[in-house]
Structure 1
């Protein structure tokens, strides 16, 4: 009997292509209040999420409920624009995901109880990632609901990417902005239609969310791609990060004015003043990163470090009623959520916010944004200075004409310490 309802293969193919084109870009899901101190880790150090193919790494976090809850993980491969790629799970992942995180321990000798989770890649269930590209790792609860997610990038060194940080080439921004000159060079790859097939991501201090994208090569010399733009590759310099040190949770120091005791300690910081109209002053920072640490640790700092309420205060009355101000850094993934939005105390003429932060050394900055979360870098609370020390990353993507996903073929790194005119 002839089946008159058979769907033509051409129609199925068109439908598949349409579904791929309609896929939405992956965004990072911020964690709930009880999830803290999320970090990518290599060699016991927090890292920005840029990992070489074949290298092992960990995702670590704390659950303040401390009830040894079950969490699961799912890994999604994405294209350059963070939309899910056409690759099936088996094409980018060796082994299985959607597995329970099996390594967790409870804190001890702390006022704030928590469970510390460590997801290692590779592990017995997930032997490793097979291809380079953009990735999103999602942490799920027992109901398979996403608790939080984080982006990371896996690269392979197939090209060299020399980068030079220069002062802005526009007179109106010469004292505020830093510009990237860079090239993409290869002795082995012969780029096919590089204007469309080669893409880059430019990041300041490893922040994917504020990166510059969709910059084409300005011109080519042989097989070298040259990028020497005047405005398209500029970043506002910002200012050096501020910091809080709480490794001795009971004692004041150069950043903590006084400590009050309660169910857990409260570290009251000295009031910061907006630095936009002050001269630039250099002091070393760790480019927004944080270090969990405490004095007299006897075993595992990740389990013995306590949490403290850190009470921030900022004198910036000129910003009142204009836009929102947030406390941000790698410790909270530069999140612009209500948990980190400062409140204005009219009686003191100060912005204030208390945030629960794990003991150690934490870089932070004050970020100004509108109600829609658009950051206003030009009018930064602490100003913009070309002298500011920032680390820059250039990530290079390539998809040949016959390939189905965007490979990450190299990265370049430069510091504005070496800035030139």
Structure 2
């Protein structure tokens, strides 16, 4: 489901930022001006969460990535080798004034809980960074300031939470960062699903960890792994233990038979293009330039739960921001009121949500759709920055389970997805879970 570099250059032009959820409302209701809508319950609790989260409804279009200098750098997840600088956080704050913001890093353990390390043990500078790189939106109907922060280098590998704070230390944005070192050799590769019909819908990842000269004590127990699909955390697998320990070869093998290391392949993501608000883009039915902000009605979608696989290139659920007429989507891209539509002959057995990176891979109340029995469709509206978006429709997956995208999207073994594996180890006598190995692999990669 990944866009190639060439296609990104032509299809997406340039990019910068990461969008956040904006309140979805009744599509027939008049849009409220930014800042005049009562914040949804999602934003009511400002308690810091050790995950990708946004705490203020005026903070939008958040994106955190590894800056590479390439046109498609916004698709690079915030994962970097130790000693390499380049984490960049970008976001907008709606309004006429630029608030004073600061940021800090929190070192976390494998379970994403704050560790006991002091700041000086993982940083070489004071752990408070003033955000001084910000610019106002240019000639936009929705006023905003665009912020950018380059994150300082750290001294240890592991999990880090980047927290942006407003007045009084109130959190506004938090994002997970990963720093790794190559102490072990990781072999991650697609495997064959051992099953009946599951082999047509699941994608299995087999992997092995060779620790060679690395001095690992009791690696079968002390080495921990996290396996992710498309760099998501909501459905990551944390509890995988080696199935074979080959002490003579100093290798841990992970080959399972009950789908412990398998993910639904899903389908290529749905998409729409609002890089231009002067002409209708891909996936857009019509524009209303008389409304403030500009109204964008997407083409009605239908369920793909029982359809055959349809191959095309997408961005694995991600998005970029851009203004086709003037470029530099950081400050030239405006906001639009985007209406999502999903045809359904009858209601789903549960609430339906728009889902993807635009919702932080969370089922947010503000992205919940409303069913109209007379029109037999779900619909909802969101304030989103101009750009190219991927998304899906999802329903809740049950207690403790990730969102269920299969209900509306189907699942196919042929779908292109990216996977990565993180290997953690805490040396005896230390207080930090290090990331000692990392690898990415593309399943069904396109040329």
TM-score by length of 1: 0.87
- In the alignment, does 2:265 pair up with 1:237? yes
- The residue number in structure 1 matching 2:409 is 382
1:258/1:268 contact within 8 Å kept: yes
The one of 245, 263, 269 equivalent to 1:220 is 245
Tell me the secondary structure at the aligned position of residue 200 of structure 2: coil
Distance in 1 separating the partners of 2:198 and 2:319: 30
Larger radius of gyration between Structure 1 and Structure 2: 1
Tell me the secondary structure at the aligned position of residue 54 of structure 2: coil
- More strand as a share of residues: 1
Distance in 1 separating the partners of 2:252 and 2:367: 41
- The residue number in structure 1 matching 2:362 is 335
- The residue number in structure 1 matching 2:37 is none
The one of 311, 324, 328 equivalent to 1:282 is 311
- The residue number in structure 1 matching 2:209 is 184
2:272/2:281 contact within 8 Å kept: no
Q: Give the RMSD, CA atoms, in angstroms.
A: 2.1
Where do residues 97-116 of structure 1 align in structure 2 (5 Å cutoff)? 97-116=127-146
2:52/2:360 contact within 8 Å kept: no
Tell me the secondary structure at the aligned position of residue 380 of structure 1: helix
- In the alignment, does 2:89 pair up with 1:59? yes
1:252/1:258 contact within 8 Å kept: yes
Per-residue deviation at 1:373?
7.6
Where do residues 260-271 of structure 1 align in structure 2 (5 Å cutoff)? 260-261=288-289, 262-271=291-300
Tell me the secondary structure at the aligned position of residue 120 of structure 2: helix
Per-residue deviation at 1:376?
4.6
Tell me the secondary structure at the aligned position of residue 272 of structure 1: coil
Per-residue deviation at 1:68?
0.3
Where do residues 136-285 of structure 1 align in structure 2 (5 Å cutoff)? 136-221=161-246, 222-230=249-257, 231-261=259-289, 262-285=291-314
The superposition leaves residues 192-237 of structure 1 with CA deviations (integer Å, 9 ceiling, x where unpaired) of 1012210000000000222000211111232111111122111111
Tell me the secondary structure at the aligned position of residue 161 of structure 1: strand
Gap regions ≥5 residues in structure 1: 1-23, 123-127
1:236/1:378 contact within 8 Å kept: no
| Structure 1 residues 418 and 116: alpha-carbon distance in aligned structure 2, compared to 1, 3 A threshold | closer
Tell me the secondary structure at the aligned position of residue 392 of structure 1: strand
Tell me the secondary structure at the aligned position of residue 225 of structure 2: strand
Distance in 1 separating the partners of 2:54 and 2:92: 14
Per-residue deviation at 1:408?
0.3
Distance in 2 separating the partners of 1:380 and 1:154: 35
Tell me the secondary structure at the aligned position of residue 169 of structure 2: coil
The superposition leaves residues 146-177 of structure 1 with CA deviations (integer Å, 9 ceiling, x where unpaired) of 12212221112222212111342122422111
**Greater CA drift, 31-40 or 264-273:** 31-40
Distance in 2 separating the partners of 1:318 and 1:191: 56
Per-residue deviation at 1:241?
0.6
TM-score by length of 2: 0.82
- The residue number in structure 1 matching 2:324 is 295
The superposition leaves residues 391-416 of structure 1 with CA deviations (integer Å, 9 ceiling, x where unpaired) of 00111111122322110011121111
Higher RCO (CA < 8 A, seq sep 6+):
2
| Structure 1 residues 380 and 49: alpha-carbon distance in aligned structure 2, compared to 1, 3 A threshold | farther
Tell me the secondary structure at the aligned position of residue 369 of structure 1: coil
1:200/1:213 contact within 8 Å kept: yes
1:323/1:371 contact within 8 Å kept: no
| Structure 1 residues 245 and 152: alpha-carbon distance in aligned structure 2, compared to 1, 3 A threshold | same
Distance in 2 separating the partners of 1:327 and 1:84: 31
2:420/2:438 contact within 8 Å kept: yes
2:91/2:148 contact within 8 Å kept: yes
2:244/2:254 contact within 8 Å kept: yes
- The residue number in structure 2 matching 1:50 is 79
- The residue number in structure 1 matching 2:53 is 29
| Structure 1 residues 165 and 346: alpha-carbon distance in aligned structure 2, compared to 1, 3 A threshold | same
Gap regions ≥5 residues in structure 2: 1-47
Tell me the secondary structure at the aligned position of residue 174 of structure 1: helix
Distance in 1 separating the partners of 2:330 and 2:252: 44
The superposition leaves residues 85-118 of structure 1 with CA deviations (integer Å, 9 ceiling, x where unpaired) of 1211111122112332111110102111110011
1:105/1:116 contact within 8 Å kept: yes
Per-residue deviation at 1:250?
2.1
| Structure 1 residues 25 and 195: alpha-carbon distance in aligned structure 2, compared to 1, 3 A threshold | farther
- The residue number in structure 1 matching 2:387 is 360
The one of 394, 400, 411 equivalent to 2:421 is 394
Give the total of aligned pairs.
389
Per-residue deviation at 1:54?
2.2
